[in-house]
Amino acid sequence: MDQAIRNYERALEGGDEQARLPLANAYQRLGLTAEALAVLAGAAHLDAPSQALFEETWRGELSRLAPSVRVDGARPFGELWGWAGEVAILLESYLNRASGLMGAADFSARRFVYEVPPTSPGLPAPVAARPGELLLPGEPGVLRRLNLATGALRSERIAVGGQVVELDPQHERALLRYLEPRRRVVIGVLRLADGGEVFHLNGGAKLKVIVNWRRGWIAWRDERQPLRWALLADGASEDFVAAEAATISGRRSHLTPVATVGDYLLAREPTGTQPGGALVEPLSGERHELRELPGSAHGPWRLSRDRSALLGFRLGVPTAFPLAGGPSRQLALPGGPGLSRAAWHPSLDLVALGRRGQGGELRSLKGEVWLHLPRDAHPLGWDPRGGSLIVVRQLGSVGGLLERWSPGGIS
């Protein structure tokens, strides 16, 4: 078996895709589930047998989820914002209405490494995170850096004015929004190293902007204007925008940008009797029409495993919006929608659901239940790989325990 695995590994390294499935099967038979999933996840496209093995392996892992690490002191209505390395970042909220920062929990240390003091002014939600540090918006033109180990909060002026909206993944550029007299808005993208301008745009109060940092483009729509996009490049100016920006047209009227979904821009048609939208890859021009994308639809968004549907939510209920233009499909929920929490898995068409007073479950888009959670357990979300689930165990109305659930209950 060892020699066969080495042969498959060498074949796959040499570009032979035919070796991927037998190698994953061999790993799984040896109990090397992480290796099997990594091999399957590395494929640009999985055929039916490979997809079946991928789901079977994940299902075997996630059906064994059980508490492995517990952190005391979590308030029950906290929301999982994201991660700073291996540290979970929680926002203070009440029934999904996220507000400011609540704290940061380190499961390896089994404690909160940072909590916002109850007597101090609340801190806003972060705009970015990295191991040991959160980056938060401050007063106009200021970015604040919160050291999670010491609690020290340091201010860094990056511009003369403007509210910091987001940072790129490398934390090298910032998107800022400036409010000017007469309800005018200026959008700027600046380099943090030297304050140099990468892009700027003037618009009205309803100017909407979406940036895809990884692909290097920015899309926007101003009032009564079409949706436009341009590449982010050093030395950009307003003249460059006017000359180089391209238009993305809607079927019935102007599209409004909503979010990035991988390489794509998600845009919505104006509200109507049956509002739709489009998923567009600006660089290649690839486009998928969405028959339904109402104002009640919201993210976080991702594509389904077979890339045939956009996965998101409608009024909090997990929903699939087909890219072929068919009707949307909401997840079938016995007993009605009544959800307090829901989070799509990063790699699977699977949702972690929380029900008020009924606990939670893992349910696939097909309606299959992979795992039931206790009545006092409410899932907050997944780790970045999707191998463990963050759960809050509610204790009364004001207290709770934060847990990390892992396969077999082992850290």
| CA nearest neighbour of 237 among 197, 193, 296 | 197
User: CA Rg, the chain, in Å?
Assistant: 23
Instruction: Determine the Cα–Cα distance for residues 334 and 332; give it in Å rounded to an integer.
Output: 7
For 141-165, give the DSSP string: TEEEEEETTT--EEEEE-SSS-EEE
pLDDT at 46 over 90: no
Instruction: Determine the Cα–Cα distance for residues 289 and 255; give it in Å rounded to an integer.
Output: 12
- 243 pLDDT band, cuts 50/70/90, is very low
The runs of H, that is alpha helices, within 14-144 are: 20-29, 33-41, 48-62
pLDDT at 131 over 70: yes
Q: Which residue has the higher pLDDT, 85 or 356?
A: 85
H or E stretch covering 391: strand 389-395
The CB density around residue 140, as the number of other CB atoms within 10 Å, is: 16
The encoded tokens of residue 338 equal: 């009544």
Count, residues in the chain: 411
Instruction: Determine the Cα–Cα distance for residues 57 and 361; give it in Å rounded to an integer.
Output: 18
pLDDT at 338 over 80: no
Whole-prediction pTM? 0.88
Average pLDDT, the chain: 87
pLDDT for the residue 66: 95
Which residue bears the tokens 């892009």?
Answer: 199
H or E stretch covering 240: helix 238-244
pLDDT at 387 over 80: yes
Highest-confidence segment of 39-43, 273-277, 311-315: 311-315
Instruction: Determine the Cα–Cα distance for residues 85 and 102; give it in Å rounded to an integer.
Output: 17
Instruction: Determine the Cα–Cα distance for residues 395 and 204; give it in Å rounded to an integer.
Output: 47
